Chain A
Amino acid sequence: MADNRAEVIVIGGSSGSIPVAMEIINALPLSYLIPIVIVIHRLRNVASELAQVMSATHQIHEPEDKEPLQKGHIYLAPQNYHLLIESDKTFSMDYSEPVNHSRPSIDVTLMCAATVYKENAVGILLSGANKDGADGMDAIIRKGGRAIVQDPSCCQSPVMPQEALKKNSHIEIQNVVSLVNTLLLYSNK
């Protein structure tokens, strides 16, 4: 597990997760190569410029339909669409019903990452007040990948990490500093 290469990192979060996601991204070197996909619940038609404001240093962008996932890129799931990953490692958008009252749903992207990248997928779940992401983190582990939640005791809303931990006991718990270290270690492999 831990000694696998990582080919994709999916970071999911809901309420209270935006500052944490920003902290993690900003701590990574600009030359960080592993593609990162951020899926964060946002209010509809609010903060559509999130991709611009999330990081002053790192470029984050919302992918277009069928855009290939590329090394060194940080992606943000657009509002109102589920963000899927195809087996040829391109993104697909899906405007179907919300999952867990959420669109984008973290579960949907995590499950695709698990199916496509298997043991080379890393899922990270941050603060949030609902249970989206739990099934997806479980899928990541079942396909041999690595799943880590933000330490619930440090979360603004601990429900999301807790629900994931209930679902699968192989999910690791880390605080933000160790999460960053974990990601940095992958980049050296």
Chain B
Amino acid sequence: MDQEITTEQLKEVLLLVKARYGYDFSQYSEASIKRRLERFKKIARVSLPDLKYHLVNDSSFFFWLLESVTVNVTEMFRDPPFYKALVNAVIPLLQTYPRIKIWHAGCSTGEEAYSMAILLHEAGLLERTRIYATDINMANIEKAASGIITLERTKEYTANYHKAGGNADFSDYYSALYDNVVISKELKKNILFSQHNLVVDEVFNEFQLICCRNVMIYFNHALQAHVIDLFYRSLSPLGFLALGTKESLLFSDKTAKFEVIDNTNKIFRLKANG
């Protein structure tokens, strides 16, 4: 059962998933998705033929696989220097727009979108902002919309928040509920959580800022190029694009359309003639 999955076997499983459920993972980074599938096989304690059998016959098994194969790890104010850079280099420029629209693509369970809402609130901009937070996985979206976070993580988030330059009392942004905390209504109000699959879904609005952090690392070159093109078409003139700290625009044909605002924190901006 611990056997390594071959490239051929991986292809078979992905084809089956695509045919039966319409989700296309064929352009995901192979090394990563293979590892995730091997891990899932161990957790589910199934052989490869059984795995395929369950996939064909049991949709709940597929959703379990979907949740396990995509990487959902996230946190509030992850990479504090990134948020500091947003406050210094991006938010002052967003201020000039009467209506601000921001897209978090691949928002997982929402922590990133809530962090953004806090920054906007502190800049006095949240009231005129709409944050669209999307993910491929409906279970993530439901969790995100609930605004519930486990209590034990708040300590780490509080530390991140202060490292990112936040001066308020972080506990003002949530209320305690047994072993959890709930994000305050004020912050939730202007965030719209919905399902969106970057592989197949299209442009749905125009944004001044798109954050897509630690999502495209799981995609191969071709899919990365496709998604960057989607963002390119979704940005308003002079709009910003923020990626994860290890991601770059280097391998896209749209590189020349963007200027680098902050290379360490991976913040880019559409050029005027872009």
Binding site for B on A (CB under 8 A): 62, 64-67, 78, 81, 84-87, 90, 92-97, 108, 112, 115
Interface string of B230-263 (1 = CB under 8 A from A): 0000000000000011111011000000000000
B30 in contact with A86 (CB, 8 Å): yes
Q: Nearest Cβ distance between residue B250 and chain A, in whole angstroms?
A: 7
- Residue B31, interface by CB 8 Å: yes
Tally A-B pairs: CB < 8 A: 65
Q: Which residues of B contact A62 (CB under 8 A)?
A: 246
A64 touching B247 by the CB < 8 A rule?
yes
Question: Cβ of B14 < 8 Å from any Cβ of A?
Answer: no
The answer to whether B30 touches A87, judged by C-beta atoms less than 8 angstroms apart, is yes
At the interface, yes or no: B217 with Cβ under 8 Å from chain A?
Answer: yes
> Most A CB atoms within 10 A — which of B216, B218, B246?
B246
Q: How far is the CA of A62 from the CA of B35 in the complex (A)?
A: 22
A94-B35, A96-B73 known; A66 and B251 CB under 8 Å?
yes
Q: Which residues of A contact B36 (CB under 8 A)?
A: 96
Interface of B is mostly: loop
Q: Which residues of B contact A90 (CB under 8 A)?
A: 221
What is the interface of chain B, defined by CB distance below 8 A to chain A?
Answer: 4, 7, 29-32, 35-36, 71, 73, 214, 216-218, 220-221, 224, 244-248, 250-251
> Min CB distance, A53 to chain B, in Å?
17
Determine if A94 and B71 form an interchain contact, defined as CB atoms under 8 angstroms apart. Answer: yes
Asked if A92 contacts B4 (CB within 8 A), the reply is no
CB atoms of A95 and B214 under 8 A apart: yes
**11 A-B contact pairs sorted by A residue (CB < 8 Å):** A65-B247, A78-B246, A84-B32, A92-B31, A93-B214, A93-B244, A94-B32, A94-B35, A95-B217, A96-B36, A115-B4
Question: Which single residue of chain B is at the shortest CB-CB distance from A135?
Answer: B2
| Additional A-B contact list (14), CB under 8 Å, known A65-B246, A86-B30 | A65-B247, A67-B250, A78-B245, A78-B246, A84-B29, A84-B32, A86-B220, A87-B30, A92-B29, A93-B244, A93-B246, A95-B73, A95-B214, A96-B36
Q: Which of A64, A81, A84 contacts B35 (CB under 8 A)?
A: A84
Chain B residues within 8 Å of A93, by CB: 214, 217, 244, 246-247
